[in-house]
Amino acid sequence: MPKARVTIEDVARACHVSVATVSMVLSGKPGINALTRKRVAAVAQTMGYQRRIRVSEKPLRRIAVVVDQTENSEAMSSGFVHRLIQGTTEIIEKFRMQCDVVLVERTMFIDDELTNLAQRQFDAAMVIATEADREFNARLLDLGIPVVLVGMFSDTLYADAVQINHYSCMYDLVSHVISTGHRHIGMIGGQDSFIPNLRYRFHGFLHAMADHGLAPDYIEPCTNNDASIRAATERMLERYPEMTAMICRDDTVAHGVLKVLHERGIAVPGRMTVTGFGDVSGSTEESALTTVQIDAHTMGMLAVNVMMNRLRVPAMMPITAVIHAPLCIRATSGPPPLRTH
């Protein structure tokens, strides 16, 4: 009886990692730490794993997954990118495509990056970022290959996109906090940002407050820098002692806020409700954060399907798939404290 062929699933079980992780290691993709990469490669070799070479009359399509690796970008400071790549990996073999991850600096070496992409002769590109550079994306479209924007809005680019409805998700989150009894609600990271995703979240906050007859009096801008988050949190606590809820622009800001509140001995949620946006780390013992749960894994799979539709019908109008992410109510939110006077 012939020996059964070793599959990626076999290697994943032996290494106690996901199939996506094994696929990324064996394909030479970045995003996996050196220790895991070495262990997976060694186990695959020991088990006798061999990559299957398919013979086809049609050439293998090559897809570039272009990732914004700019320092402090929201995409790179979270698990967002890794989960997106996992989503694309799961469906990629179904369409018999080769997926290469291409890391780019949003603010540097645009000409070098575009030349590199052109020389590698990709059939299409998925651009993963939340703060993408318009010039880079516009010039990427000029290469003449289909492009799908993943995780970002663009009001100016004529391209397919897979997005989250940031406005309505933030509106729903603020409305939930109001429904639990809060009236003195602030937003940290609230500003008319040049980043569309953050701007839509801010407007969702403003309109939810207005529709419930509440004034948005407690607003502090900040960046995702630890010092900026701390300073904004401390300013809000000093200026608005009556505030009972802090709506944060994203999970990174929320975790920074929680740290300051913990240091000051302010109970969450007993004295203060805190919410995030994105579900970067999921529910953990350290911080079971109430947030908007963005399913990056599903977004990746959907983006591949949008890409394949574009490759099959190049002349069709651009498609924007908008996902409404659900609220994830956890332990950092609750009713406001009872008034003692």
Could you tell me the residue ranges of all domains in the chain? 1-53, 59-164+296-323, 166-293
CB 158 within 8 Å of CB 201: no
What pLDDT shows up at residue 71?
46
Residue 138, classified by CB atoms within 10 Å of its CB into exposed (0-12), middle (13-18) or buried (19+), is middle
Report, at the CATH architecture level, how domain 59-164+296-323 is classified.
3-Layer(aba) Sandwich (3.40)
User: For 11-70, what is the HEC assignment?
Assistant: HHHHHCCCHHHHHHHHCCCCCCCHHHHHHHHHHHHHHCCCCCCCCCCCCCEEEEEEEECC
166-293 CATH: 3.40.50.2300
pLDDT digits (tens, 9 = 90+) for 184-200: 999 999 887 777 788 99
For residues 160 and 146, is the Cβ–Cβ distance under 8 A?
A: yes
The CATH-assigned architecture of domain 1-53 is: Orthogonal Bundle (1.10)
pTM of the model: 0.76
Report how far Cα 22 is from the mean position of its chain's Cα atoms: 22
Examine domains 59-164+296-323 and 166-293 and report if their fold is the same.
yes
- Tell me if 63 sits within 8 A of 123, measured CB to CB: yes
Please list the pLDDT of the chain residue by residue as tens digits (341 residues).
456 778 877 888 898 887 767 777 877 666 678 888 889 889 988 888 876 544 444 556 888 888 766 544 555 555 677 777 777 777 776 777 888 877 776 555 567 777 777 888 888 988 886 555 667 777 777 888 888 988 876 666 778 999 899 999 999 999 999 999 999 999 999 887 777 788 999 999 999 999 999 999 999 999 888 999 999 999 999 999 999 999 999 999 999 999 999 999 999 999 999 999 988 765 454 569 999 998 888 888 899 999 999 999 988 899 999 999 999 999 999 999 987 44
